[in-house]
């Protein structure tokens, strides 16, 4: 087939077709196409949040399934992640510029041994959009990094992300160290990541497990309000 017959003009697709095409393009790691499609959806009046969840996160879920099933391998998944980040880069300023009142401060990072950062970045973006100041420690954080950041930044919230069953127990190492140093109760600890659940969050002594970025924002607002009420009462 010639190139002209092959070529798909993204702007000519209707919304459903375009979202479907974005999932295919994310799967194929086509960053420029993802960026173009994100811009098209924005022009069509889609909210940044809908683009994130209905096209990018949904597409990455498909990548995850085929990664698990041995159909995709690390290099391909890296390309998909890179394409996703291209889309997120366009959406970030739009999510962050909400003019929301200052809600509080959060330090967030992915735990030691774990280099997954897309979910954490999404949480950071949505938290900023909701009016929180966010200090992002990046990936592969040993307990010392978290403790130094808590001391330095004096946040309301510590957020931790883990995407591997082998790294999620490290969250307990961080929380146990905070307990041992007598500082656990000074912070709201929120945890998240695909392999976690509520029971795990409770078992390791976190304040809450957050299923996704929207829940993280809700939990953060809720706990910060409670903290302020307690301070006002005390």
**How far from 99 is each of 93, 120, 128, 132, 207, CA to CA, in Å?**
12, 22, 10, 11, 28
What are the E-state strand segments in 111-219? 132-136, 157-161, 188-192, 208-210
Bridge partner list, 132: 104
d(C-alpha 202, C-alpha 223), whole Å:
15
Of 30-38, 110-118, 145-153, 224-232, the segment contacting ligand B1M by CB under 6 A is 110-118
- Which member of 18, 163, 204, 217 binds ligand B1M (CB under 6 A)? 163
Which stretch, 28-36, 91-99, 161-169, 173-181, contacts ligand B1M (CB under 6 A)? 161-169
Distances (CA, A) of 122 to 70, 76, 85, 187, 201: 26, 21, 10, 21, 20
Residue 131 CB neighbour total at 10 angstroms: 17
Among 77, 143, 173, 183, binds ligand B1M (CB under 6 A): 77
Please, what is the minimum distance in Å from the beta carbon of residue 150 to ligand B1M?
14
Least gap, CB of 119 to ligand B1M (angstroms)? 2
**Scanning residues 40 to 59, which ones bind ligand B1M (CB under 6 A)?**
57
92 binds ligand B1M (CB under 6 A): no
Number of CB atoms found within 10 A of residue 144's CB? 11
The yes or no reply on residue 188 touching ligand B1M (CB under 6 A) is no
Q: Are 143 and 173 in contact (CB under 8 A)?
A: yes
Rule CB under 6 A: say whether 135 interacts with ligand B1M. no
We find the least distance from the C-beta atom of residue 226 to ligand B1M, in angstroms, to be: 16
Site for ligand B1M (CB under 6 A): which residue of 64, 131, 169, 205?
64
Residues near ligand B1M (CB under 6 A) are 57, 60-61, 63-64, 67-68, 74, 77-78, 81, 108, 113-120, 122-123, 159-161, 163-165, 190-195, 210, 212-213, 216
């Amino acid at each position: 087939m010639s190139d002209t017959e092959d070529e798909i003009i993204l702007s000519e697709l209707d919304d459903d077709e375009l979202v479907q095409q974005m999932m295919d393009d994310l799967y194929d790691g086509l960053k420029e196409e993802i960026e173009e499609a994100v811009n098209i959806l924005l022009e069509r009046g889609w909210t940044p949040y809908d683009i994130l969840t209905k096209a990018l996160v949904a597409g990455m879920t498909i990548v995850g399934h085929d990664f698990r099933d041995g159909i995709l391998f690390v290099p391909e998944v890296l390309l998909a992640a890179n394409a996703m980040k291209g889309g997120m880069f366009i959406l970030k300023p739009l999510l962050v510029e909400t003019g929301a009142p200052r809600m509080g401060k959060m330090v967030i990072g992915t735990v030691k041994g774990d280099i997954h950062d897309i979910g954490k970045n999404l949480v950071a973006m949505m938290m900023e959009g909701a009016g929180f100041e966010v200090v992002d420690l990046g990936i592969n954080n040993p307990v010392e990094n978290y403790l130094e950041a808590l001391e330095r930044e004096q946040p309301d919230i510590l957020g931790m992300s883990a995407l591997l069953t082998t790294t999620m127990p490290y969250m307990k190492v961080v929380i146990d160290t905070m307990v041992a140093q007598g500082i656990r109760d000074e912070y709201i600890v929120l945890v998240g990541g695909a392999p976690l659940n509520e029971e795990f969050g409770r078992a390791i002594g976190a304040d809450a497990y957050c299923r996704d970025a929207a829940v993280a924002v809700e939990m953060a607002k809720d706990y910060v309000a409670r903290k302020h009420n307690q301070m006002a009462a005390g």
